[in-house]
Structure 1
């Protein structure tokens, strides 16, 4: 059902729902638009409304071919909405869920587009703070680029900053999605442009591998890995491209490239990536704290459990609906220093060759169990042999016992 948004816009059809609000296909004075209507509880927050109005100039002034432009901000009664350009296409998360991973050329071309958009935003003093596949749109009406990729645009600029009010987050919360949060955010430092570079490098890793470098398990474990773990190399990735990923995932913000540098360096890699197929690595199918993926349980003769797959990102919004804007902005507790310091070693999931069991997985545990059973059986056999030998060695001395040398115990022929 259509509804009026302010005096200039009409929302006609829901395109998607997320944790921050609902996106509608709308109509304005200049034609079709996308309208992001923020949740009613956000609209009733007077402090947030004030920040919303304060950010109007910065958001309206951000225009770039790789950024979904904000055309208007509407504050009308209980309605708090961003009116944006309508992009005819899908989001990057939807493509990832369909294809699992992308060919390196397409992945690099998409990330280079987003880096160009970030460069323009950072030059204007705007930090996105929530870069992830859900917030990257693919314009299906644009000409095909390298690797058959469509033009990529970054959306939802400024929304994380708007929602991140001191009253809502209190100094013990952070805004974002845990798989893509830079270490300095986890440690409570203010977000700078470098947090977007870290998140974008995480997206590139995910496009290449099919999973994020530090994701999986409880959100607290994910946050800890960002601070303590080193990214594990991907087999088959060109060395120069891998070094770019490593540099942009550096724990120290100053070590990361700027957005404009990253975009230029990535485009330099495109000719060497032409025709390269997607990487052949197995995704970590299950978190260490969750049930196993395919436990054959051979020692109990029970049927194998159905496989479990981990999503690309950990959801912190219970019951969030799956759509192109899901889990956009979430709030979580910052781990204490002692939590960050302990228990992290060995928790990063190492990519492995296709078909190889993941360390700690059900297949790996089942194989280890079979090895233990085999070793146990061998030990029993050895013990039995030793026991028999001992009995044979001593029984000849007992009254009525058999001869000691059983090898010559057969009756002799006269």
Structure 2
């Protein structure tokens, strides 16, 4: 059903949904457009509407071939919408869901495109703050690049900043997606350009491995890993590429590359990756039963992140609805809000400790597989102890019996008296 957005645009059909709003196929004065209509709950927030208007100039001025251009920002009654270029293709998450992991050459080509987009945004003073596969679009009508990769474009610029208004989020809350959050955000520091580099390096790791370096399980556990853990190496890629990933996943923001430097170095590495097949890497806790048991155990701490105390299991990348009382309407959630862990929690306090780097396929400490192994070891230890005790008792009985036989005649006489 057609719907007018402002006086210039008309929407026709839904292209996708997210926790921040719904994306529609629309028509404008210059042809087809994508219209991201924010939720009515958000549109009724006058402070957010004011921020929306303030960001108009910065977002409209962001123009780069690797950025999905924002054409207009519409404030009309209860409608709050971003009008963007229409990209004929799919998002990177959909491709990952289909292929699980990409060949290194294609993964690096896509990452280099996004790094170019971030370099343009950072030069204009815009920080994305929510770089993830869902916000990377693949243009199926564009020319194929290295490794057969379709051109990648970064979208949803400004949405995280618009949502993160002082009246809507408190100092104890974070805006972002847990798997891709830089450590400084977890620690409550303001987001700078380096947070986008960290998130993009996480995306590259995921494209290569099929899973994120610190993801999995309860959101609170994911946040702690970002701050305390070291990334586990990936076998089968050139050392130059691995060092790039490590540098961009550095805990200290100043140690990471700038977007323009990352883009240039990724393009330098591309020739080394030609012909390398997708990596054969074991995903942590890939056993379905073990993964389900781990999720159930970890979600006992549900109140830690959501304050609900429900303890109900959920998906691996758990999402907390952005708007209180709202339910997530698809798996394309744009934002997750959760509490910032206290210092003792981040350092491995009562809620858990950091896991040490481990080899691929080894059970993660604290996981169901790891706990099952610990239980087996304990049972074996108890069984061995029981055998030892039984042996000791048997030996003791033998010594008592032999001692009676060797007793002096005097003792025998005394024991035989009435």
TM-score (normalised: structure 2):
0.83
Q: How does 1:384-395 map to 2 (within 5 A)?
A: 384-395=390-401
Residue 125 of structure 1: aligned partner: 125
Q: Distance in 2 between matches of 1:212 and 1:19?
A: 21
Query: Shift of residue 262 of structure 1?
Result: 0.2
Distance 2:271 2:314 in 1: 34
State the secondary structure of the residue aligned to 2:156: coil
Query: Does residue 290 of the first structure (1) align with residue 284 of the second (2)?
Result: no
Q: Structure 2 residue aligned with 1:319, among 320, 327, 331?
A: 327
Q: Which runs of 5+ in 1 are unaligned?
A: 294-307, 400-414
Gaps of 5+ in 2: 286-290, 299-312, 406-418
How far the C-alpha of 1:357 sits from its partner, in A, is 4.2
Instruction: Map 1:185-196 onto structure 2 (within 5 A).
Output: 185-196=185-196
Structure-2 separation of matches of 1:21 and 1:54: 20
Mapping 1:87-236, distance limit 5 Å:
87-236=87-236
* Paired position in structure 2 for 1:328: 334
* Post-superposition offset of 1:80: 0.7
Change in Cα spacing, 1:132 to 1:388, as seen in structure 2 (3 Å) is: same
Rounded to whole Å, the distance in 2 between the matches of 1:361 and 1:345 is 12
The Cα of 1:289 is off from its aligned counterpart by 5.5
Render the CA deviation track for 1:54-106: whole Å, top value 9, x for unaligned: 21121111111111001111111111101111111111111222222222111
Write the deviation string for residues 274-319 of structure 1: whole angstroms up to 9, x where unpaired. 22222222222338963479xxxxxxxxxxxxxx9963x3322273
1:161–1:374 Cα change, 3 Å: closer
Match of 1:337 in 2: 343
> After superposition, what is the alpha-carbon deviation per residue over 1:30-75, rounded to whole angstroms, capped at 9, x for unaligned?
2111100011122122222222122112111111111100111111
- Are the counterparts in 2 of residues 209 and 281 from structure 1 also a CA contact under 8 Å? yes
* Match of residue 259 from structure 2: 259
For residues 139-197 of structure 1, give each alpha carbon's deviation from its aligned partner in whole angstroms, at most 9, with x where no partner exists: 11222222221111100001111121111113332221122111222222222111111
Whole-angstrom distance in 2 between the partners of 1:193 and 1:288 = 38
Residues 387, 19 of structure 1: alpha-carbon distance in 2 compared, 3 angstrom cutoff: same
Alignment of 1:342-353 (within 5 A): 342-343=348-349, 346-348=353-355, 350=357, 352-353=359-360
* Contact kept? 1:282, 1:352, Cα under 8 Å: no
**CA drift at 1:385:** 4.1
**Structure 1 CA distance for aligned equivalents of residues 9 and 243 of structure 2:** 47
Question: Partner residue of 1:242?
Answer: 242
Using the alignment, how far apart are the partners of 1:322 and 1:396 within structure 2? 79
After TM superposition, the structure 1 stretch with the greater mean CA deviation from structure 2, 338-347 or 101-110, is: 338-347
Deviates more, 1:332-341 or 1:65-74: 332-341
Closer, same or farther in 2 for the Cα pair 1:225/1:382, shift >3 Å? closer
Q: Is the CA contact 2:209–2:234 (under 8 Å) kept in the aligned structure 1?
A: yes
Evaluate the alpha carbon distance shift between residue 386 and residue 191 of structure 1 in structure 2; reply closer, same or farther with a 3 A threshold. closer
Q: Mean Cα displacement is larger for which, 362-371 or 147-156?
A: 362-371
Aligned length: 383
- How far apart, CA to CA, are the structure 1 residues paired with 2:137 and 2:92? 6
In 2, the alpha carbon distance for the partners of 1:167 and 1:370 equals: 52
**Which range moved further: 33-42 or 206-215?**
206-215
Structure 2 residue matching 1:335: 3-state secondary structure: coil
CA distance in 2, matches of 1:353, 1:224: 21
Moved more, 67-76 or 39-48: 39-48
Asked if 1 retains the 8 angstrom alpha-carbon contact of 2:294 and 2:368, the reply is no
Q: What is the CA–CA distance in structure 2 between the aligned matches of 1:309 and 1:160, rounded to whole Å? A: 24
In structure 2, C-alpha distance between the alignment counterparts of 1:374 and 1:331, rounded to whole Å: 44
Mapped to 1, the partners of 2:297 and 2:169 lie a distance apart of: 35
Query: Of Structure 1 and Structure 2, which has the larger fraction of its residues in helix?
Result: 2
CA distance in 2, matches of 1:377, 1:175: 51
Over the residues paired in the alignment, what is the CA RMSD in angstroms? 2.7
Native 8 Å contact 1:287 1:310 kept in 2: no
- Structure-1 residue corresponding to 2:60: 60
